[in-house]
Amino acid sequence: MQKRIQIIMILMILAINIRLFGETGQGYSPIKPLSTMPLVSAAVTLYSPANNSTGIPVKPSLVWRKTTYADRYHLQVSDNALFSNIVYNDSTLADTSKLVDSLLYGKSYYWRVRGGNIAGYGTFSSPAWKFTTQAMPIPVPGNLKAVAAVYGRVRLTWNDNSQNESGFVILRKNGDSTSSNQMSALDTVSANLAEFTDSTIADSFKYSYRVYAFSADTVSGPSNYAVVVTLTSVKEYANGTLPDEYTIMQNYPNPFNPSTTIRYGLPYASEVRIEIYDMTGQKLRTLIEKEQNAGFYEAVFDIDGLSSGTYFYVLTARQLEGENKSHQVKKMILMK
């Protein structure tokens, strides 16, 4: 009986082993697949545009390097280093570059990237990189014209094709547009003013002009050339023709040493006074003080012991038989 009980116990143990470990009796469970969680993406290295770059297009292509364990990327662009104002945000990028639009001209931006996968996103690239977009381009002034209809003056006009200029630079050289002479800056005028009168010309001389528009941080391309030949003399122009307004022209030459000529025009018989002042406002000399008929005139100013510097000449004129009058000031430079 005892032997029979031992046999039954052995059979029960065998049945339990078969149920737990399978019929093979090897002690292993059935093979099942096992998945592990991927590692978080490594930090991203930014590539282009380089940190602190300037002159970047307002639609830049931002590029970074592929990083380990990342199968997507999150790009952020902000207008401040704290990223408190995000201007571009995309967390669905599969590539390592992105063309970003909607940026403004002449503005600084900060950008950063982080990699991600099924485990989530890693940390953003640090520090964030900075770039500054290019200044807004200025269209080229067009249709520049130069006319010498009045003795001692060339009048320039052009088309103002821009809305963001701070002003215009007037350039001039001797000779025509093919001359090897260098252009030099003559003067500037304010924004939205598309004309200029050059009173620093010589008689019967050929000049070429060009105009640039400019702003605080950029300059347009040059306008077309405008070429003109000035009138020969006061007498030639004044024969039967009178000025239509009081005018005092830029002295010539300027800068000067030892003397310079000041030309002026009177549309009416007038009381005329031309005076010379220094930078402090002290009157140095009276060149002209008399009554003169309508016409064009010249006055010569000699330095007479003055030092190099900037001086002013002032025309004060009043119509003898009428109420018209004028007060005009121009500056001249004595350079010894």
Q: Does 217 fall in a domain?
A: yes
Whether the pLDDT of residue 314 is over 80: the answer is yes
Of the three residues 229, 250, 269, the one that is the final residue of a domain is 229
Whose tokens are 């005892």? That residue is 2
Of the three residues 116, 133, 150, the one that is the final residue of a domain is 133
Domain co-membership, 150 together with 214: yes
Q: Which residues are paired to 317 by β-bridges?
A: 272, 326
Whether the pLDDT of residue 75 is over 50: the answer is yes
Q: Which of 35-44, 224-233, 313-322 has the lowest mean pLDDT?
A: 35-44
Q: Is the peptide bond before 49 cis (omega within 30 degrees of 0)?
A: yes
Q: What is the dihedral of CA 300, 303, 304, 306, to 10 degrees?
A: 150
Domain co-membership, 217 together with 289: no
- What is the average pLDDT across 75-79? 97
pLDDT digits (tens, 9 = 90+) for 161-186: 998 899 999 999 999 999 999 999 99
Identify the pLDDT of residue 244: 84
- What is the average pLDDT across 73-98? 96
Domain co-membership, 63 together with 104: yes
Q: Does 26 fall in a domain?
A: no
Q: Is the peptide bond before 127 cis (omega within 30 degrees of 0)?
A: yes
Confidence of residue 290 (pLDDT cuts 50, 70, 90): very high
| Residue 111 belongs to domain with CATH number | 2.60.40.10
Identify the pLDDT of residue 297: 87
Tell which residue, 123, 130, 114, has the closest CA to residue 78. Answer: 130
Domain co-membership, 253 together with 292: yes
Of the three residues 199, 229, 259, the one that is the final residue of a domain is 229
pLDDT digits (tens, 9 = 90+) for 101-144: 889 999 999 999 999 999 899 999 999 999 999 988 999 999 99
Q: Does 63 fall in a domain?
A: yes
Whether the pLDDT of residue 14 is over 60: the answer is no
Whether the pLDDT of residue 35 is over 60: the answer is no
Identify the pLDDT of residue 204: 78
Whether the pLDDT of residue 237 is over 50: the answer is no
Asked whether 60 and 131 are in contact (CB, 8 A), the reply is yes
Domain co-membership, 129 together with 146: no
- Sequence-separated (6 or more) residues with CB below 8 Å from residue 260: 251, 252, 253, 254, 300, 301, 332
Domain co-membership, 299 together with 220: no
Confidence of residue 304 (pLDDT cuts 50, 70, 90): confident
The reply to whether the predicted model has a pTM over 0.85 is no
Q: Does 16 fall in a domain?
A: no
| CA–CA gap between residue 170 and residue 166 (Å, rounded) | 13
Q: Which residues are paired to 113 by β-bridges?
A: 75
Q: Does 112 fall in a domain?
A: yes
Tell me the pLDDT of the chain averaged across its residues: 86
Asked whether 251 and 239 are in contact (CB, 8 A), the reply is no
Confidence of residue 241 (pLDDT cuts 50, 70, 90): low
Whether the pLDDT of residue 77 is over 70: the answer is yes
Q: Does 121 fall in a domain?
A: yes
Per-residue 3-state assignment (H helix, E strand, C coil) for 164-228: CCCEEEEEEEECCCCCCCCCEEEEEEECCCCEEEECCCCCCCEEEEEEEEECCCCECCCCCCEEE
Whether the pLDDT of residue 234 is over 50: the answer is no
Q: Taking the CB of residue 100, how many other CB atoms lie within 10 A of it?
A: 18
Domain co-membership, 154 together with 208: yes
Q: Taking the CB of residue 213, how many other CB atoms lie within 10 A of it?
A: 26
Domain co-membership, 217 together with 256: no
Q: Does 67 fall in a domain?
A: yes
Range of the domain at 261: 242-334
Tell which residue, 174, 168, 111, 170, has the closest CA to residue 139. Answer: 168
pLDDT digits (tens, 9 = 90+) for 196-229: 999 888 877 899 999 999 988 889 999 999 999 8
Domain co-membership, 126 together with 157: no
| CA–CA gap between residue 258 and residue 211 (Å, rounded) | 31
Phi, psi of 80 (to 5 degrees): -150, 160
- What is the average pLDDT across 146-162? 87
Structurally, the chain folds into a number of domains equal to 3
Asked whether 224 and 144 are in contact (CB, 8 A), the reply is yes
Tokens linked to 242? 């009178």
Domain co-membership, 123 together with 147: no
| Residue 271 belongs to domain with CATH number | 2.60.40.2550
Q: Does 24 fall in a domain?
A: no
Type of residue numbered 247:
T
Which has more pLDDT, 36 or 200?
A: 200
Domain co-membership, 178 together with 204: yes
Domain co-membership, 111 together with 155: no
